[in-house]
Amino acid sequence: MSPTRTLQDYDLDALRERVLPERAGTRADSIPQLAEADPDLFGIALALPDGSVRSSGDGRAPFSIQSAVKPFLFALALADIDGAALDRVGIEPTGEAFDAIKLESDTGRPPNPMVNAGAILTCALVHGNDPEARAERIRDGLSRFAGRALSVDEDVAHSEHLLGDRNHALAHLMRAEGTLDDSADDAVAVYARACAVVVDVETLAVMGATLAFGGVNPLTGERVVASEIARDVVAVMATCGVYDGSGRWMRAVGVPAKSSVSGAIVLSAPGTAGAAIVSPPLDEQGTSVRGRIAAEALSADLGLHVFG
For residue 135, being part of any structural domain is answered with yes
pTM summary value: 0.97
One domain for residues 16 and 32: yes
Question: What integer is the mean pLDDT of 88-102?
Answer: 90
10 is in an annotated binding site: no
Confidence bin at 6 (pLDDT 50/70/90):
confident
2, pLDDT greater than 80: no
Residue 5 pLDDT > 80: no
Mean pLDDT for the chain overall = 95
pLDDT tens digits for range 259-277: 999 999 999 999 999 999 9
Residues 185 and 250 occupy one common structural domain:
no
The reply, when asked if residue 243 is annotated as ligand binding, is: yes
Give yes or no: residues 151 and 184 share one domain. yes
Please, which pLDDT band fits residue 197 given cuts at 50, 70 and 90? very high
Do 246 and 171 lie in one domain? The reply is no
Range(s) of the domain holding residue 254 = 3-62+200-217+227-302
| 307, part of any domain | no
The answer to whether residues 141 and 42 belong to one domain is no
State whether 93 and 121 are in the same domain: yes
Q: Is 56 exposed, middle or buried (0-12, 13-18, 19+ CB in 10 A)?
A: buried
217 labelled as ligand-binding?
no
Is residue 116 a known part of a binding site? yes
Q: What is the pLDDT of residue 96?
A: 85
Which of 253, 254, 275, 255 lies closest to 265 in space, CA to CA? 275
Spatial strand order of the sheet with 43-47 comes to: 53-57, 43-47, 273-278, 264-269, 257-259
Q: At 131, which CATH number?
A: 3.40.710.10
The annotation status of 261 as a binding-site residue, yes or no, is: yes
pLDDT digits (tens, 9 = 90+) for 145-181: 999 999 999 999 999 999 999 999 999 999 999 999 9
255 annotated ligand-binding residue? no
Tell me: do 72 and 122 sit in the same domain: yes
pLDDT at 124 over 80: yes
Residues 94, 110, single domain; the answer is: yes
For residue 222, tell me if it sits in a domain.
no
Q: How many domains does the chain have?
A: 2
Tell whether 40 and 72 lie within a shared domain.
no
Per-residue pLDDT at 1: 33
pLDDT tens for 55-80 read 999 999 999 999 999 999 999 999 99
**Same domain, yes or no, for 204 and 56?**
yes
